[in-house]
Amino acid sequence: MIDRADYFAAKLAYETDASDLYARQKASDDVVVIDVRSDEAWAQGRIPEAVHMHYSEIATRAPSEIATGREVVVYCWSPGCNAGAKGALEFAKLGYTVRELIGGFEYWVREGYPVADADGIHRRPVDPLTGVARIRTQA
Report the Cα 109 to chain-centroid distance in Å: 12
- In 3-state terms, what secondary structure has residue 139? coil
- In 3-state terms, what secondary structure has residue 55? helix
Cβ pair 51, 62 in contact under 8 A: no
**Residue 81 known to be catalytic:** no
CA distance 139 to 133: 13
CA distance 111 to 102: 13
Which residue is catalytic, options 33, 41, 47, 76? Answer: 76
CA distance 106 to 129: 13
Taking residue 70's Cβ as centre, other Cβ atoms within 10 Å add up to 12
List active site positions: 76
